[in-house]
Amino acid sequence: MTDATDARTSRTTALTRLAIGLAQGIALFLLQKADESKTWPATQPTLYAPLLVCALMVPMIPLAALSAMRRTFLIGWSLVAAALAAILAVHAAWTGAAPDRIGAGPLSPPLFVAVAALLFIAHHLVQPAEAVHKPLAPYADYFDLVGTNVVRLVLSLLFTGAFWLLLFLAAALFKLIGVEAIQKLIGETAFAFPATGLMFAAAVHMAVQLTEARAGLVRGVRTVGLVLLAWLLPLMVVIAAGFLATLPFTGLAPLWSTKAAASLLLSAAAALIILINAAYQDGIEPPNPILCWAARAASLLMIPVVILAAYALWLRIGQYGLTPDRVLAATYVIVATGFTVGYTLAALRPAPWMKPLERTNLVMAAVSVLLLIALFTPIADPARLSVASQVKRLEAGRVSAEKFDFQFLRFESGRYGRKALDRLKANPDPEIARRARDAGVLESRSAPQPAKPDFSRVTVYPAGRKLPDTFVNQAWDSDRRSDCINAGSVCKALLIDVDGDGADEVLLGVGSIFDVFQLKDGRWRRIAQASSHCETGNVEAAMAAGQVAMTPAKPRRDLVAGGYALSLQPIDEGCQPAP
C-alpha cells in the first residue's frame, strides 16, 4: 500500500510540475506576442511588467519545492513571492527610462537579476524553516538545500539546452533531404515557449528524483568541489596580506589613481567571503588545520580591505556625488561590513571552529533581501538618490552648468530624472535653464550634444549692435542653424523687428538670402526665410547704411533694403507657428 501510495504521489507531483512548466511557457508566449504586436496588456507597462516578471520567475519556487513543502504553505509562499516580484516590476515600469515604450521596454536587465536573486535567497531561508516548523532551521539544512538546488538547476539547464541542440540537429538533418517542417516548427514562438517550459519542468522533476535517490553522491561531488575551492583560500590570504603590507610603502595614491579602487577592493572582500564559506561548508566537521587558520586570518584581513573600500567610495561620493553605480557600491559596502563584523567575531571567539559564522550568513542573507527590495522600490532607488544628489550639487554651485550631465537626467534616471529636468528648465540661473531645455529636446543619449556655432566672423547690423547672448550661447542642432554657419562662411546678421511685436528678430545669411530667427519659449527658432534676386553688394550696403525697414502688413510684411525688397516666406521648423 505504501509503495502504491508513493507511486501515485510521484505521478501526481510529476504531472503537477509538467502542468506548471507548460502553463509558464504558454504565459510567456502570450506576453511575448502582446509585446510584439503592441496590444493589451503590453500597452500598460505597469500591468505588463509584473505579469512578465512573475511568469518568468515565480514558477521556479513550486517547481523546486513541490515535493518538499506542505501544499498550503507552498501556495502561500508562492503568492508572497509573486507579490514581491510584482512590486519591484511595477516600480521599474513606473520609473522606466523610456516612457514612450510599451511592453518590456521600460524593464532593465538588472531588474530580472535582482528578482531572481531575491527569490533565490528568500526561498532558501523559508523552505528549511518550514521543514522543521520553526523560525530557524539548523545551519546544515540551509547549506544542504542551497547546494542541492544549485546542482538541480545546473542539471535542468543542461538538459533543456541539450533538448534544443537535438531539435536543431534534427532540423538540419531533415533540411538536407528537403524537409523544412521541423526548422519552421522550432522557429515558431508558439512552439518554442511552451516546449521550453515543459522540458525544463521535466528536467527539474528528474533532477529532484535523481538527487533524492542519490543524495550521498550529490553531497560527495559538492564536497569535493568545495574542498578544491577552499584550498585557494591560503593563496588568497597571502595575496591580501601582501597587498596590505605593501600599502605603507606605496601610499594610497596609486590605488586612488585607478579610479576603480572601491570595486576592486569589494571584489577582494567577496572572494574572501566565498572562500571562507568553501572552507567552512556546513560547519559540522572542521577542515584541515591549515584551512582553519586561513579562514580566521582571512576574516581579520577583511577588516582593512572593507575599510579601504568604504573610504574610497566615500571620497568619490564627496567629490562627485551619488550615481547609480555608487549607490550599488554603497549597498555592497553595507553587506561586506556586515560579513566582516560577523566573521571577525567568529575568528576571535575561542570556541572550536567559527560557529558564529552561521548566524552571520543567515542574518546577512535576510539583510540582502531587504536591501534588494529597497534598491528596486522608492525607498533607496539608485536613480532617485542619484538625481537628488546631483541636482543638489548643481544648485549649490559645486558643479557648473557646463560640466553637469543633463543627459543623465534625460535618459538614464527614469521618471525621477525627467521630473528634475523639467524643474531645472525654470531655474533662476539662465545657463542652467537653457541647458536643461536643450537636453529636454534630445531624442537619444547617443545623439551628439548640440554644438555652438562660431559667430566670431559674423558682421552685425545696425553698426554697433551685437547678437543677443541667448542667440550666441544657444546649443544649436546642426540641421536648425543658418546654412551660412553650417558652411563656415562669413555671415551677416541684421537685428530688426520683423513681426511688429516690439522685439527684434535675428536675420542671418549670406548675399541676399537670410534665415529669420525668433525667440520663443527661451529658444531661438528659425521661422522664415527672406530672399531677393538683387545684387548682394547693394543689399549689404543698404544694411551698413541703416537703410532697412519693414513694409506694412498688407498683404504681408517684407524687408526693404536700399529700395530692394526681400520677400519673407514662413517655413515650418519643428511645427512652430509662423509669426
Same domain, 248 and 397: no
Q: How far apart are CA 262 and CA 259, in angstroms?
A: 8
> Each residue's pLDDT tens digit in the chain (579 positions)?
466 676 788 899 999 999 999 999 999 999 999 999 989 998 898 999 999 999 999 999 999 999 899 999 999 999 999 999 999 999 999 987 444 454 555 577 889 999 999 999 999 999 999 999 999 999 999 999 999 999 999 999 999 999 999 999 999 999 999 999 999 999 999 999 999 999 999 999 999 998 888 888 888 888 899 999 999 999 999 999 999 999 999 999 998 888 889 999 999 999 999 999 999 999 888 889 999 999 999 999 999 999 999 999 999 999 999 999 999 999 999 999 999 999 999 999 887 789 999 999 999 999 999 999 999 999 999 999 999 999 999 999 999 998 999 999 998 898 999 999 999 999 999 889 988 988 888 877 655 555 556 777 788 988 888 888 888 877 665 445 555 665 445 688 889 988 888 889 998 887 778 888 888 877 888 888 888 765 555 777 888 888 888 887 665 678 888 777 788 888 764 444 333
Same domain, 72 and 203: yes
Q: How far apart are CA 261 and CA 264, in angstroms?
A: 5
Residue 19's region, left for phi above 0, alpha for psi from -120 to 50, else beta, is alpha
Identify the three-state secondary structure at position 321. Answer: coil
- Using a 10 angstrom Cβ sphere, with 0-12 exposed, 13-18 middle and 19 or more buried, the burial of residue 396 is exposed
Same domain, 152 and 6: yes
Q: Does the N-terminal peptide bond of residue 462 adopt cis geometry, omega within 30 degrees of 0?
A: yes
Residue-number span of the structural domain to which 502 is assigned: 459-570
pLDDT of res. 421: 94
Same domain, 160 and 21: yes
Number of domains in the chain: 4
Same domain, 206 and 132: yes
CA 548 from chain centre, in angstroms, equals 57
Task: Report if residue 448 sits inside a domain.
Answer: no
Cell of 220: 560527495
Same domain, 504 and 541: yes
Task: Report if residue 449 sits inside a domain.
Answer: no
Task: Report if residue 519 sits inside a domain.
Answer: yes
Same domain, 366 and 417: no
pLDDT of res. 486: 54
Three-state SS letters, 12-44: HHHHHHHHHHHHHHHHHHHHHHHHHHCCCCCCC
What CA–CA distances, in Å, run from 325 to 321, 406, 410, 413? 11, 17, 17, 12
Same domain, 271 and 249: yes
Task: Report if residue 196 sits inside a domain.
Answer: yes
Q: How far apart are CA 142 and CA 282, in angstroms?
A: 9
Residues whose CB falls within 8 Å of the CB of residue 82, separated by 6 or more in sequence, listed in order: 54, 58
Cell of 180: 523544412
Cell of 188: 515558431
Q: Report the DSSP pairing between strands 459-461 and 492-496.
A: parallel
Which residues are paired to 567 by β-bridges?
531
H or E segment and range at residue 495: strand 492-496
Identify the three-state secondary structure at position 512. Answer: coil
Q: Report the DSSP pairing between strands 513-520 and 523-531.
A: antiparallel
- Whether 143 and 281 have beta carbons less than 8 Å apart is answered as yes
Closest CA to 348 of 360, 334, 366: 360
Same domain, 140 and 57: yes
Q: How far apart are CA 115 and CA 118, in angstroms?
A: 5
- Using a 10 angstrom Cβ sphere, with 0-12 exposed, 13-18 middle and 19 or more buried, the burial of residue 255 is middle
CA 565 from chain centre, in angstroms, equals 58
What CA–CA distances, in Å, run from 103 to 42, 134, 431? 4, 42, 37
Task: Report if residue 578 sits inside a domain.
Answer: no
Same domain, 105 and 149: yes
Residue 444's region, left for phi above 0, alpha for psi from -120 to 50, else beta, is beta
- Whether 70 and 130 have beta carbons less than 8 Å apart is answered as yes
Whole-prediction pTM? 0.78
Task: Report if residue 299 sits inside a domain.
Answer: yes
Task: Report if residue 43 sits inside a domain.
Answer: yes
Residue labelled with grid coordinates 531588474: 111
**Sign of the CA dihedral with 207 first, then 213, 217, and 222 last:** positive
Task: Report if residue 7 sits inside a domain.
Answer: yes
- Whether 326 and 333 have beta carbons less than 8 Å apart is answered as no
Same domain, 180 and 257: no
Angle at 121 between CA 412 and CA 371, to 5 degrees: 45
Same domain, 339 and 405: no
